[in-house]
Homo-oligomer: A and B are copies of this chain.
Amino acid sequence: MDPRVREHAETVVDHSLGLESGDDLVIQVPAVAEDFAVALHELAGDRGANPIYLNNSERAERAFLRARGEDFETPEHQLALHEAADAFVISRGGPNATERSDVPPETTADYNRAMRPVQDERLASDWCLTQFPTPGRAQLAGMSTEAYENFVYDAVSLDWEAQREFQSQMVEILDDADEVRIRSGEETDVTMSVAGNSTLNDFGRANLPGGEVFTAPVRDSVEGTVHFDLPLYRQGREIEGARVRFEAGRVESFSADRNEDVLAGVFDTDESARYLGELGIGMNRAIDRFTYNMLFDEKMGDTVHMAVGAAYPETVGEENERNESAEHVDMIVDMSEDSVIEVDGEVVQRDGTFVFEE
- Chain A contacts to B: CB under 8 angstroms: 22, 24, 26-27, 29, 31-32, 34, 37-46, 48, 50-55, 57, 59-61, 63-69, 71, 73, 75-81, 83-86
Contacts and interface: CB of A to CB of B under 8 A. Distances in A.
Contacts of A37: 55, 57, 60
A43 B66 CA distance: 10
A187 B22 CA distance: 49
Please classify the interface of chain A as helix (H, G, I), strand (E, B), loop, or mixed, using the class held by over half of its residues.
helix
A267 B91 CA distance: 40
Contacts of A57: 34, 37-38, 53
B50 A53 contact: no
Given A38-B57, A45-B68, A55-B55, 5 more contacts: A34-B60, A37-B60, A41-B60, A44-B68, A51-B60
Contacts of A51: 60, 64, 75
A41 B67 contact: yes
Contacts of A86: 77
Interface centre among A26, A31, A61, A85 (most CB of B within 10 A): A31
A83 B81 CA distance: 10
Given A80-B80, A83-B80, A84-B76, A64 B42 contact: yes
B60 A38 contact: yes
B44 A67 contact: yes
A295 B22 CA distance: 34
Interface centre among A61, A66, A76 (most CB of B within 10 A): A76
A126 to B, nearest CB: 13
Contacts of A64: 41-42, 44-45, 51
Contacts of A77: 24, 26, 50, 52, 81, 84-86
Contact of A31 (B42, B55, B69, B78): B55
A128 B36 CA distance: 29
B63 A41 contact: yes
Contact of A78 (B52, B63, B69): B52
A12 B13 CA distance: 37
Nearest to A39: B63
Contacts of A22: 73
10 contacts: A24-B76, A29-B55, A38-B57, A42-B67, A45-B67, A48-B68, A48-B71, A53-B55, A80-B84, A81-B84
A108 B45 CA distance: 13
A81 B78 CA distance: 7
Contacts of A75: 24, 50-52
A42 B64 CA distance: 5
A29 B40 CA distance: 19
A79 B68 contact: no
A82 to B, nearest CB: 8
Nearest to A61: B41
Nearest to A51: B64
A193 to B, nearest CB: 40
B34 A34 contact: no
Contacts of A39: 63
Contacts of A26: 77
Nearest to A33: B31
Contacts of A43: 67
Contacts of A79: 84
A161 to B, nearest CB: 26
Contacts of A63: 38-39, 41-42, 45
